Amino acid sequence: MITSAAAAAHPNIAFIKYWGNQDEFLRIPANGSISMNLEGLETRTTVEFDTKLEEDELVINGEPTSSEALDRVSLTLDHIRRLADLETAARVISQNTFPTGTGIASSASAFAALALAAATALGLCLSERELSQLARLGSGSACRSIPGGFVEWKAGKDHNSSYAETLAVPEYWDLVDFIVLISSEHKHVSSSQGHSLAGSSPLQEARVKDADRRLEICRQAILERDFSSFAEIVEQDCILMHSVMMSSTPPLYYWQPKTLEIIEAVREWRKEGLQVCFTIDAGPNVHVLCPGSEAEAVKRRLTAVANIRSLLKCTPGGPAWLLEPEISGV
């Protein structure tokens, strides 16, 4: 017997970052975070629970995957199977619509789509909050790809209190994220490994202690569509996270010379009066953020910077959603 469902989700970009866990296994973060879902990029996932299967199977972008990736997926599936009181193995087929090898992290959209598809396939009727909690178990930031638009993940203390909710719907603020692709190189250190190193930096404690202040400023800036306050706090938060990364043992340097070149250009353009700011995740690519009204000017300037591999334009995206069964298995 086979029961299946398909779902999709957008990745997200964090404005206030998640880095370090209170609980590594349950991925309860050291601090809350705020992000925006990225319309224009998505992961589509089909989950088929099949009584004929002996163990879980995972195919990403048409390729069988590493045992490490499969273990992580099986762990999330185990939680969902427990809720449904079932032991059947599943075939998971996942496809990213964004170009592969771009260095854009897909674990957030992947685990959000997986949680929604698997729970639906097993007939579980879960709330958005419960789906967000489940997605978090696979990849912390995935809990922010379940709700739509501008999203806040309350750190919480345990599985039930750690989940994400919408702060504002996608239409609330016309914000654009240009992802400047600098390198397609695979991350040398995964974010899961990175989180476990955060506590080895003497700066992490101060970063976490100050998180409520940054969250409050960022939340207000989004709700008031105040780009100036938003720009200052987003850049400060990004630099705090990268300072922790660079000062952990062993240190993590994700930037490349081009990363710094874009940072300097963006800061210069803002001084000249352009509404623009940057943020960077666990990789060298730079996310350049601006109001929609500045998008053309920002794009012109970015394309004039030499040696950028390419540029992706994203706008605020909606929540994770179910796909019609006929387009499952894409």
12/88 with CB nearer ligand PMV: 12
119/198 with CB nearer ligand PMV: 198
Determine which residue in the list 139, 145, 166, 259 makes contact with ligand PMV, applying CB under 6 A. 139
- Integer-rounded Cα radius of gyration of the chain: 19
CA pair distance 205, 214, nearest whole angstrom:
14
CA distances from 4 to 111, 116, 231 (A): 16, 11, 43
Q: Which helix (H) or strand (E) holds 312?
A: strand 310-316
Contact by Cβ (8 Å): 183, 189: no
Size of the site for ligand PMV (CB under 6 A): 16
**CB of 144 vs ligand PMV, minimal distance in Å:** 7
18/230 with CB nearer ligand PMV: 18
Residue 192 in the binding site for ligand PMV (CB under 6 A): yes
**CB of 242 vs ligand PMV, minimal distance in Å:** 9
5/211 with CB nearer ligand PMV: 211
Residue 140 in the binding site for ligand PMV (CB under 6 A): yes
CA distances from 81 to 74, 111, 160 (A): 10, 15, 18
CA pair distance 94, 60, nearest whole angstrom:
5
Binding window for ligand PMV (CB under 6 A); candidates: 13-21, 67-75, 88-96, 202-210: 13-21
Q: Tokens in use for 191? A: 């974010």
Instruction: Report the site for ligand PMV in 229-288 (rule: CB under 6 A).
Output: 281-282
**CB of 179 vs ligand PMV, minimal distance in Å:** 13
Phi then psi for 120, rounded to 5 degrees? -70, -40
Provide the CB-side half-sphere exposure for 176 (13 A, CA): 17
**CB of 34 vs ligand PMV, minimal distance in Å:** 9
CA pair distance 284, 278, nearest whole angstrom:
12
**CB of 329 vs ligand PMV, minimal distance in Å:** 26
**CB of 108 vs ligand PMV, minimal distance in Å:** 6
Provide the CB-side half-sphere exposure for 97 (13 A, CA): 16
Instruction: Give the bridge partners for 193, in sequence order.
Output: none
Q: Tokens in use for 69? A: 């990736």
Residue 120 in the binding site for ligand PMV (CB under 6 A): no
Determine which residue in the list 31, 33, 102, 145 makes contact with ligand PMV, applying CB under 6 A. 33
Q: Widest CA span of the chain, in angstroms?
A: 64
Q: How many CB atoms lie within 10 A of CB 38?
A: 25
**CB of 296 vs ligand PMV, minimal distance in Å:** 28
121/282 with CB nearer ligand PMV: 282
Contact by Cβ (8 Å): 112, 9: yes
Binding window for ligand PMV (CB under 6 A); candidates: 113-121, 139-147, 219-227, 296-304: 139-147
Residue 152 in the binding site for ligand PMV (CB under 6 A): no
**CB of 236 vs ligand PMV, minimal distance in Å:** 15
Determine which residue in the list 45, 107, 248, 328 makes contact with ligand PMV, applying CB under 6 A. 107
**CB of 138 vs ligand PMV, minimal distance in Å:** 9
3-state secondary structure of 311: strand
Among candidate residues 132, 142, 88, 97, the one with its CA nearest the CA of residue 312: 97
Residue 141 in the binding site for ligand PMV (CB under 6 A): yes
Q: Rule CB under 6 A: which residues touch ligand PMV?
A: 14, 17-19, 33, 105, 107-108, 139-141, 191-192, 195, 281-282
